[in-house]
Amino acid sequence: MIDKNMNVITKIDLEAVPAQTTTKYGLHIISDGLGMPICVPIIIAKGKKTHPVVGLTAAVHGNELNGIPVIQRLFQEIDPTQLEGTVIGIPVVNVPALHRKRRRFNDNVDLNHIMPGKADGNASQIYAYRIVDRIVRHFDYLLDLHTASSGRVNSYYVRADMSDPITAKMAALQNAQIVVHNPPSDGTLRGAASALKIPAITLEVGDPSKFQKGMIGSGLTGMYNWLYHLNIMKGDIEVPEIPIVYCKSSYWLFTDCGGILRVFPRVTNRVKKGDKIAEIQTIFGDLVQAYFAPEDGVVIGRSVDPISQTGSRILHLGILK
C-alpha cells in the first residue's frame, strides 16, 4: 500500500519544509529498468528553526534491519513543535538491496565501500553519489546505524574517531557496550560525511536480518541522548548502567584452514593472551586446528556460521585502551 502522506520529491529543500511539522517524503533517486521511480524514504521533523540538522541513516546494507525501527520509533515520539532544529531520518538507504533481502546493491557492490560514489559512474556509484549529494550534505551531524553481516553477531558497539572531541562525545552518549577508536575509512558513508566536515559515527546495533527489541531500545536511547545534548530536544541524558568499554583499535582474526568452526567466547567477553578462542574440525569430527587469543582484548563480534572455508572470520577483537 502506498503511504498517502508521502510526498515524492527530487531534492531536499529544508527551507521549504514547514516549521514545527513532521513530513514523510519519497526521494526519487534513480529509476528502474521500466523507467519507474525508486524512492528513498525520508522523514523530516523540523522545529522552530532549521539548524542544527541531525541525520539518522539505516540499512546501507539491505539485510541490516535494527536501525529501521530505531528511526521509526524516534519519529513516532518526536513532537516537532518542541524541536529546536531538524531531525532527518532515512530508515532505508539501500532500497534495492532491501527489496532483495541482500547486503549489497543490485549490481552486487557494497555501497559502504564506494562512498561518495560518482556522478557519472555505474549503477551503484551513481546511487551512492546521489545519497551523499542529495541527502547527506544537508546534515550537520550523522549517526549511521548498521548491524553485523550474515553469519556473524555483534555487540552493541560504536566506531568513531575518538581523537575528535565532537565524534568522541557523540560516541560516548550512545551508551554502547563498546566504543572503538576508528578514524573514518575511505568508501564508507561515515567517511564521505566526514570529508564534507560533517561529524559522523557508525553504530553497530546487533545482528542481521532480524529485529532485536533490546538492541532497538539501546539505539533509541543513544539517539535521544545526542538530541538532548544539542538542545534540539529537552530531556535528561541517560547514563549507561554498565561502564562503556573503550578500545584503542580492533581487528578480525581469520582461519588458516577449512572445516567446522566452533568459536568459544561470546560477544563482550574479555579474553587473555593465550586463551583458546576457537577450533576447526573436519567433517568427520577430527580436530584440525585450535586458535588462541594473540593478545588481551574484548570480543566485539564473532562468527556464528560453523561452515568455515579457509580464510573465514573467527572473531572481532577489540584492544583495550
* pTM of the predicted structure, to 2 decimals: 0.95
245: in domain? no
Same domain, 277 and 177: no
Do both 276 and 132 map to the same domain? no
74 and 143 share a domain? yes
Q: How far apart are CA 3 and CA 235, in angstroms?
A: 31
94 in Cβ contact with 105 (< 8 Å):
yes
Domain of 286, CATH number, reads: 2.40.50.100
The reply to whether 235 falls in a domain is no
Same domain, 76 and 153: yes
Listed residues 229, 264, 284: the one ending a domain: 229
Same domain, 293 and 196: no
Are 53 and 108 in the same domain? Answer: yes
One domain, residues 187 and 255: no
Mean pLDDT for each consecutive 10-residue tract of the chain (321 residues)?
75 95 97 96 97 98 98 98 98 97 97 98 98 98 97 97 98 98 93 98 97 96 98 97 97 98 98 98 97 98 97 98 85
Q: Is residue 18 part of a domain?
A: yes
For residue 243, being part of any structural domain is answered with no
Same domain for 256 and 134, yes or no, is no
* Residue 113 falls inside a structural domain: yes
User: Does 117 share its domain with 208?
Assistant: yes
Q: Is residue 303 part of a domain?
A: yes
Same domain for 155 and 62, yes or no, is yes
Q: What is the CATH number of the domain that holds 159?
A: 3.40.630.10
* 169 and 271 housed in the same domain: no
State how many domains the chain has.
2
Looking at the fold, whether 100 and 168 belong to one and the same domain comes out as: yes
Q: Is residue 166 part of a domain?
A: yes
Q: Which residue range forms the structural domain that includes residue 148?
A: 6-229
Please give, one letter per residue, the 3-state secondary structure of the chain: CCCCCEEEECCCCHHHCCCCEEEEEEEEEEECCCCCEEEEEEEEEECCCCCCEEEEEECCCCCCCCHHHHHHHHHHHCCHHHCCCEEEEECCCCHHHHHHCCCCCCCCCCHHHCECCCCCCCHHHHHHHHHHHHCHHHCCEEEEEECCCCCEEECEEEEECCCCHHHHHHHHCCCCCEEEECCCCCECHHHHHHHCCCCEEEEEECCCCCCCHHHHHHHHHHHHHHHHHCCCCCCCCCCCCCCCEEEEEEEEEECCCCEEEEECCCCCCEECCCCEEEEEECCCCCEEEEEECCCCEEEEEEECCCEECCCCEEEEEEEEC
Give the pLDDT score at 6.
80
In a domain, 223, yes or no: yes
